[in-house]
Amino acid sequence: MKFDQASPPNPIDQERVVTRPHTRIEGPLKVSGQATYAYEYALPGAPTYGFVLGSRIAHGRITRIDASRAEAAPGVLLVLTHENMPAQGASDTPVPQQRKASPQLAGPDVRHYHQAVAFVVAETFEQARAAAQLIEIEYEQTPGQFTLADTVGSGKEPQDAVDSVVGEFEPAFAASAAQVDRTYTTPDQSQAPMEPHATVAHWDGDQLTLYTAHQVVHWVKRGLALTLNVPQKDVRVVAAFVGGGFGTKLLFFSDAVLSAAAARLLGRPVKTTLHRPLIFNNTSHRAATIQRVRLGADQDGTLHAVGHDTWTGNLPGGDSEPACEQTKYLYGGEHRLIRTRQSELDLPPGASMRAPGEAVGMLALEGAMDELAEQLNLDPVELRLRNDVQFDPEKGPRRPFSSRRLAAALRTGARAFGWDQRPGAPRERRDGEWFIGYGVASAFRTNLVQPSGATVRLNRGGTLTVETQMTDIGTGSYTILAQVAAEMLGLETAQVEVRLGDSDFPQASGSGGSWGANSSSAGVYAACDELRRDLSRKAGYTPANTVFRGGKVWQGAECTELSDLAGPEGVEATARMTFGELTEQFMQAGFGAHFVEVGVNAYTAEIRVRRALSVVAAGRILNPVTARSQCLGGMTMGIGSALMEALHVDHDLGLFVNHDLGEYHVPVHADIPDLDVIFLDERDDQSSPLRAKGVGELGISGVGAAVANAVYNASGVRVRDFPVTLDKILAGWEADS
């Protein structure tokens, strides 16, 4: 099935099951410990345990490696280094960094700190870990580039240059009555998922089964097959439950490659989990940015010149952090200059982290909008409303938005939050020791879709089974897909079994880029639509005239039980949803608005978020329970990004020194106040048959900016170097005194 025209009325519109609040159907498995994550699979035969040893330098080469003491240690079965690792190929997954990073132990050259340089397999984890410390390695260290700021304006040609130019920005900006020209910096950040990267690898002859923590099953299947130089048909990947990924599990790392290679050599299953420090330096992270935003407007606040430059860094061949993305679409302005520059850095690989681009790009753009509003003495909400636009600002009216409820989100949020009580000037309102401030920011995230397929099977007795490669990374995929299937076949969710994350099932979008729920639901829709046709014909009815309700298929007053149509063998249908050119004809995105109240301590400059509200317009909300959870998670991560999250680079050694959850600060319960979410009613018929859009990353995009804007409204100190910490507020107060 191809989705290439606006969605007509369809069975989802009944909204008998879809759009209704349903708690997670897999919840009982998780709280009882019965949901099996990658490291927990028990396979026939005694397992072995792998331990990855990371490099102690960031740039250079290995001149000598001696594994003899480790090989002789108790319980050790195998030690792999670049000297005895089986030959590897290169991955060609859609993630550019994976194409460079997928070979492990590929040679003596060291590209970044904690790159895997050895792999020890033993009878127990403790034996493998102890033996790894016995490996003797000598390095020749060479100078590396670890500081992004040093590469900006250095004259060195950047790795890539992405420009978006409309009109004549420079003269338009120079002629503007009101101008903002500000530079914002964001640090390196880690996804730090609760479940570490983990793999269990098992070979049965030439057949490899890999239980691993990954967000997109078919990416790791293809990429690993190419890396190991084996046919894809001989690789099965299982990722039934994934304990968070936030982008880092869009790639695969040393645990997958080395477990698979060692298991084949040993003829025994190998279990490997990356210990926490390796997750920060061996796997991927969000790269730091330096962003310059220039806005030129009339005295009434109408934007005419919009400029956004981003500098970011990565290993050779890696992707850039697309922090300018939202600036292309969020506000009007006929003269536009948007540029991305990327330098080569010798830090661990930079790749996707929740809402890549918008999460940090909105910190700069929405901060600049707040500064422009202050300069114009204009309410920040009103400034945004005056620059709302109903078409792609770069391409004009010929590419309208498929749906855009930004203005409604801003107005709804302002009323619900009590924005009219916002302090008119910094340090104007006080509650005991605390200065009180309000902040606002728009929310934006591009809507993406991916081809997805599924198999649906009506079983004997009238129950339904759904099988698809789609993953559940804690987002509610099991529940949403059960709702869609139940809606299509006239069943209850309790009558639907959903099976996910197995490469033996039809290929699906996987989880990433906020495309998962909408895309995979469309795949289930397509399979259910095919099954409806088959069952209608089997009942002797005309498919176009049938209604599925209450476990029966109806044509007029006549009906047939689904259990009768299933028979003893059941009835099965497989289909795939692909997408046409609607994303080119229409700009598709989710929109919203974030409102935040903070307190800043008048004596210590400690910052406390007191309450926050997100208003979200993201098409049809398939399940308000799981969607709300996604938004609350995004809001929490946005607060963390604004106030505490930062990987600290040792600029001499080239590593992230705070590589554990003790020193990499993320929000805890005490940091997060009363959060609320309002969903606006919306149906985007250009997005999918579900008329839904992505919601998972919309929740983070703009939250940090709303926090920073509120901090300014409370304290009078504008911090443009994130995260916003109390020392920076104190420094601002001292500079004012």
Q: Rounded to the nearest 5°, which phi and psi values hold at 254?
A: -65, -30
Q: What mean pLDDT is predicted for residues 169-184?
A: 98
Residue 112 has pLDDT above 70, yes or no: yes
> 83-97, 448-462, 543-557: lowest mean pLDDT where?
83-97
Q: How far is Cα 737 from Cα 719, in angstroms, rounded to an integer?
A: 17
DSSP 559-572: EEEHHHHHTTT-EE
Residues 424, 467 share a domain: no
Q: Rounded to the nearest 5°, which phi and psi values hold at 678?
A: -120, 125
Please give the sequence-ordered ranges of beta strands (E in DSSP) within 20-115, or none if there are none.
Answer: 48-54, 60-66, 76-80, 109-110
Residue 378 has pLDDT above 70, yes or no: yes
Domain count, the chain: 2
DSSP 122: E
pTM, two decimal places: 0.97
Q: Which of 532, 562, 579 corresponds to the end of one domain?
A: 579
In sequence order, what are the beta bridge partners of 79? 120
Q: What mean pLDDT is predicted for residues 174-199?
A: 98
Q: How far is Cα 7 from Cα 579, in angstroms, rounded to an integer?
A: 12
Residue 399 has pLDDT above 50, yes or no: yes
Q: What mean pLDDT is predicted for residues 144-162?
A: 74
Q: Which of 514, 546, 579 corresponds to the end of one domain?
A: 579
Q: What band does 104 get if pLDDT is binned at 50, 70 and 90?
A: confident
Residue 217 has pLDDT above 50, yes or no: yes
Residue identified by tokens 């705070």 is 658
* Residue 387 burial class via C-beta count within 10 angstroms: exposed 0-12, middle 13-18, buried 19 and up: buried
Q: How many other C-beta atoms can be found within 10 angstroms of the C-beta atom of residue 3?
A: 21
Contact 79, 120 (CB under 8 A): yes
Q: Which of 522, 551, 579 corresponds to the end of one domain?
A: 579
Closest CA to 614 of 601, 623, 603, 627: 627
Residue identified by tokens 């520059």 is 341
Closest CA to 122 of 81, 79, 85: 79
76-99: string of b/e by CB count within 10 Å (b at 16+)?
bbbbbbbeebeebeebebebbbbb
Residues 574, 457 share a domain: yes
Residues 477, 557 share a domain: yes
Contact 729, 607 (CB under 8 A): yes
609 domain-assigned:
yes
List C-alpha distances in Å: 689 to 8, 121, 210, 514, 594: 8, 49, 34, 17, 28
Q: How far is Cα 330 from Cα 629, in angstroms, rounded to an integer?
A: 25
Residues 511, 613 share a domain: no
Residue 157 has pLDDT above 90, yes or no: no
**Tell me: the pLDDT tens digits for 428-442?**
999 999 999 999 999
272 domain-assigned:
no
* 78: Cα within 13 Å, side-chain hemisphere: 26
Rg (CA), the chain: 27
Residues 710, 667 share a domain: yes
340 domain-assigned:
no
CATH value at residue 507: 3.30.365.10
Q: What mean pLDDT is predicted for residues 114-133?
A: 98
Residues 563, 493 share a domain: yes
Supply the residues annotated as catalytic.
Answer: 697
Q: Rounded to the nearest 5°, which phi and psi values hold at 170?
A: -55, -50
Cα angle at 706 between 703 and 709, to 5 degrees? 150
398 domain-assigned:
yes
Residues 722, 616 share a domain: yes
Q: How many other C-beta atoms can be found within 10 angstroms of the C-beta atom of residue 509?
A: 29
Residues 408, 467 share a domain: no
The tokens describing 314, both together, are 């990565």
Residues near 612 by Cβ (< 8 Å), separated by ≥ 6? Answer: 594, 595, 596, 597, 635, 639, 673, 674, 675, 676, 703, 706, 707
Residues 508, 398 share a domain: no
Residue 145 has pLDDT above 80, yes or no: yes
Q: How far is Cα 668 from Cα 660, in angstroms, rounded to an integer?
A: 15
Residue 675 has pLDDT above 60, yes or no: yes
Residues 443, 486 share a domain: no
81 domain-assigned:
no
Q: How far is Cα 227 from Cα 86, in angstroms, rounded to an integer?
A: 10
Q: How far is Cα 602 from Cα 733, in angstroms, rounded to an integer?
A: 10
Residue 45 has pLDDT above 90, yes or no: no
Closest CA to 455 of 397, 500, 402: 500
Closest CA to 525 of 570, 580, 576: 576
pLDDT score of 99: 65
Q: What band does 108 get if pLDDT is binned at 50, 70 and 90?
A: very high
Q: What band does 634 get if pLDDT is binned at 50, 70 and 90?
A: very high
pLDDT score of 676: 98
Q: What band does 736 get if pLDDT is binned at 50, 70 and 90?
A: confident
The tokens describing 265, both together, are 């050599």
**Tell me: the pLDDT tens digits for 464-508?**
999 999 999 999 999 999 999 999 999 999 999 999 999 999 999
Cis status, amide bond into 723, omega within 30 of 0: yes
Instruction: Report, in this order, helix, strand and coil percent for the chain, each rounded to 5.
Output: 30, 30, 40
The tokens describing 704, both together, are 């940090």
Residues 724, 612 share a domain: yes
156 domain-assigned:
no
Residues 419, 404 share a domain: yes
pLDDT score of 155: 42
Q: What band does 704 get if pLDDT is binned at 50, 70 and 90?
A: very high
**Structural domain of residue 660, as residue ranges?**
357-447+588-736
Contact 571, 457 (CB under 8 A): yes
Contact 350, 312 (CB under 8 A): yes
Q: What mean pLDDT is predicted for residues 352-380?
A: 98
Sign of CA dihedral 147, 148, 149, 154: positive
| Strands, sheet with 303-314, edge to edge from the N-terminal-most edge strand | 160-166, 335-344, 303-314, 289-297, 178-186
Cα angle at 382 between 376 and 386, to 5 degrees? 90
654 domain-assigned:
yes
Q: What mean pLDDT is predicted for residues 116-130?
A: 98
554 domain-assigned:
yes
